[in-house]
């Protein structure tokens, strides 16, 4: 319902293209009573318009007059944009009554489903402009790092990844690292019996190489060794007196001096010798591969 002023009041201005229902008219002189009368009907008509905006927008009147700083009727008009007779396409931007801009992510509107961007939770149909930019800058598969958990990113679904692992750049020429997402390596390592080598990493005097790991003399750190052996009958070294124990085999241990760090040397890791000349083998203890580090959370976007 809406008043037709031109028919409601004899002194109103007749209908025109600008005002199809007529418009108000002033008195020709004070007290002439030939202008449109100021009575209850027409301000109620205006109140009907204003109050219907609030009702349609789901806003309860505060009881205070509107101001520029607190415009409830304007907020109602903003909210009505989400309930208009227009379907919102992906990419449509609207400004909410809270002053925040929202960008449509999934088409919605009267023909499908009407979603209020201000109150939507969880976010699916509408993202804020900030969240939309974040969404574009972080496609699925993106990895981000934080020092806090949970992550609270404004868009997307994220899972913790790289737990207990270091990152390494993809190298198309290296089969171990030629694709994103490949994993490998170990936190510790040890060397095989009778060797000083390990297949998991390699060295040479010129730097890192791609094949079997063999420490050169220059690469070995300063260290010493304990040698264990037993005597049978008469055993002797290349210098000094024989070790004579013909009754019961005796066991002996000895430590080498500190060698390595570029000093040339040879040594036996461990073993035993006898009249038959047994071969000597041995292995190193388990050692850490971990360089200095600082832990952080890594997150990968999955949706």
Which tens digits make up the pLDDT trace of 25-79? 999 999 999 999 888 988 898 999 999 888 877 788 999 999 998 899 988 887 7
For helices 72-80 and 41-57, angle between their N-to-C axes, nearest 10 degrees: 60
Arithmetic mean of pLDDT, 251-255: 59
Percent of the chain at pLDDT > 90 equals 32
Residues 272-291 pLDDT 10s: 444 444 444 555 677 888 88
Per-residue H/E/C for the chain: CCCCHHHHCCCCECCCCCCCCCECCCCCCCCCCCCCCCCCHHHHHHHHHHHHHHHHHCCCCCCCCCCCCCCHHHHHHHHHHHHCCCCECCCCEEECCCCCEEEECCCECCCCCCCCCCCCCCCCCEEEHHHHHHHHHCCCCCEEEECCCCCCCCCCCEEEECCCCCCCCCCCCCCCCCCCCCCCCCCEECCCCCCCCCCCCCCECCECCCCCCCCCCCCCCCECCEEEEEEEEEECCCCCCCEEEEEEEEEEEEECCCECCCCCCCCCCCCCCCCCCCCCCCCCCCEECCCCCCCCEEEEECC
Residues 92-142 pLDDT 10s: 888 887 888 999 999 988 777 888 899 998 889 999 999 999 989 999 999
User: pLDDT value at position 194?
Assistant: 47
Reported as a pLDDT band with limits 50, 70 and 90, residue 297 is very high
Reported as a pLDDT band with limits 50, 70 and 90, residue 228 is low
pLDDT of 19 > 80? The answer is yes
Q: Mean pLDDT in the chain? A: 77
Residues 210-220 pLDDT 10s: 444 455 666 66
Better-predicted residue by pLDDT, 270 or 127:
127
Q: How far apart are CA 186 and CA 266, in angstroms?
A: 29
User: pLDDT value at position 13?
Assistant: 93
User: pLDDT value at position 125?
Assistant: 92
Reported as a pLDDT band with limits 50, 70 and 90, residue 222 is confident
Reported as a pLDDT band with limits 50, 70 and 90, residue 192 is low
Q: How far apart are CA 7 and CA 15, in angstroms?
A: 9
Reported as a pLDDT band with limits 50, 70 and 90, residue 173 is very high
Arithmetic mean of pLDDT, 148-155: 90
Burial 31-45 (b: 16+ CB within 10 A, else e): eeeebbeeeeebeee
Judge contact between 76 and 53, C-beta under 8 A: yes
Q: How far apart are CA 7 and CA 3, in angstroms?
A: 9
Reported as a pLDDT band with limits 50, 70 and 90, residue 260 is low
Please indicate, yes or no, whether the overall pTM of this predicted structure exceeds 0.75.
no
Query: Which candidate, 164, 132, 158, 156, places its Cα nearest to that of 143?
Result: 158
User: pLDDT value at position 200?
Assistant: 41
Give me the residues paired with residue 94 across strands: 102
Residue 59: Cβ-neighbour burial (10 angstroms; 0-12, 13-18, 19+) = middle
Better-predicted residue by pLDDT, 130 or 254:
130
Give me the half-sphere count of Cα atoms (radius 13 Å) on the Cβ side of residue 290.
10
User: pLDDT value at position 299?
Assistant: 95
Domains of the chain: 5-57 (no CATH), 72-136 (2.10.10)
């Amino acid at each position: 319902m809406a008043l037709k002023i031109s028919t409601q009041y004899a002194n109103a201005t007749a209908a025109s293209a600008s005002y199809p229902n007529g418009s108000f008219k002033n008195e020709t002189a004070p007290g002439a009573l030939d202008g449109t009368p100021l009575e209850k009907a027409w301000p109620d008509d205006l109140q009907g318009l204003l109050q219907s905006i609030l009702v349609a927008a789901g806003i309860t009147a505060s009881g205070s007059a509107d101001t520029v700083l607190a415009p409830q009727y304007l907020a109602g008009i903003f909210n009505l944009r989400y309930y208009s007779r227009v379907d919102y396409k992906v990419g449509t931007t609207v400004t909410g009554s809270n002053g925040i801009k929202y960008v449509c992510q999934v088409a919605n509107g009267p023909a499908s489903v009407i979603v209020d961007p201000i109150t939507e939770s969880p976010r699916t149909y509408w993202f804020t402009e900030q969240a939309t930019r974040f969404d574009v800058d972080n496609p699925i598969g993106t990895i981000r790092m934080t020092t806090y958990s949970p992550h609270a990113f404004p868009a997307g679904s994220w899972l913790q990844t790289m737990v207990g692992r270091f990152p390494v750049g993809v190298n198309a020429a290296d089969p171990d690292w030629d694709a994103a997402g490949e994993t490998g390596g170990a936190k510790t390592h040890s060397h095989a019996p009778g060797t000083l080598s390990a297949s998991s990493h390699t060295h040479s005097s010129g730097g890192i190489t791609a094949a079997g790991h063999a420490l050169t003399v220059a690469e070995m750190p300063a260290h010493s060794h304990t040698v264990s052996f037993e005597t049978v009958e008469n055993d002797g070294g290349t210098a000094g007196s024989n070790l004579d124990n013909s009754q019961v085999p005796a066991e002996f241990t000895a430590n080498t001096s500190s060698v390595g760090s570029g000093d040339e040397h040879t040594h036996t890791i461990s073993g035993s010798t006898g009249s038959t000349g047994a071969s000597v083998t041995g292995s190193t203890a388990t050692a850490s591969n971990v360089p200095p580090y600082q832990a952080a959370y890594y997150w990968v976007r999955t949706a």
